[in-house]
A and B are shown apart, each in its own frame.
Chain A
Amino acid sequence: EVQLVESGGGLVQPGTSLRLSCAASGFTFEDYAMHWVRQAPGKGLEWVSGISWNSGYIGYADSVKGRFTISRDNAKNSLYLQMNSLRAEDTAFYYCAKARGYSVSDAPDYWGQGTLVTVSS
């Protein structure tokens, strides 16, 4: 059974940093691309970033480019999102999602339950 467990969310002040983690199990992590998708409370889904199976291809939404960095450690079956210069508009539930294949173009098929990031002074 595919399991994705996000951690690292919390309440932070604007301008500060936070690192999210996603622990994956139930599938061969190194074979699949991964995504981060966020959802502000009561709002729609917004793709944040994606990374290919070998970290060779990475993409970011314009809204986070230059501030967020996605990475993965295939030896630890883990996905990460380093978030710097956080803004109030980054407040959202952040979902880790497994892609259907090895490429960032492959759609997310399994999702974690999300971790809430709140940016407020």
Chain B
Amino acid sequence: QSALTQPPSASGSPGQSVTISCTGTSSDVGGYNYVSWYQQHPGKAPKLMIYEITKRPSGVPDRFSGSKSGNTASLTVSGLQAEDEADYYCSSYAGSNNLVFGGGTKLTVL
């Protein structure tokens, strides 16, 4: 059960797009279509932004999108807004009733 690998930081200017990667193995990200992404603002509980690789819960702007290729999943935030500045975490089902999270990426809107 090793944590998924995310870049510690990412940044972009308002209106730009930024992509955050999440790398695992064939035992987690690559083996299942159960990759999720969470947004967490300081002092707040995480919020689900993407589930099952590409699906958005009701209320999440379509500026947020997800994808997967092999053992790497990605979250793309288009049309960056100031309120998108937060920590982002990926997670994946890892088999045998286990989940695993990534180390988190701090997104800065310049």
Contact = CB atoms under 8 A, between A and B. Distances in A.
Query: Are A and B bound to each other?
Result: yes
Contact of B46 (A50, A58, A104, A111): A111
A46 B48 contact: no
B74 to A, nearest CB: 17
Interface residues of B, number: 27
B57 A46 contact: no
B48 A107 contact: yes
B1 to A, nearest CB: 5
B45 interface: yes
Interface size bucket, A side? 20 to 34
Contacts of A57: 97
B38 interface: yes
A50 B97 contact: yes
B51 interface: yes
Interface of A: 35, 37, 44-47, 50, 52, 57-62, 95, 100, 104-114
9 contacts: A44-B3, A44-B87, A44-B101, A44-B102, A45-B104, A47-B98, A59-B99, A95-B46, A107-B99
Given A44-B89, A61-B98, A104-B93, 5 more contacts: A44-B104, A61-B1, A107-B48, A107-B91, A109-B57
Interface of B: 1, 3, 32, 34, 36, 38, 40, 45-48, 51-52, 57, 87, 89, 91, 93, 96-104
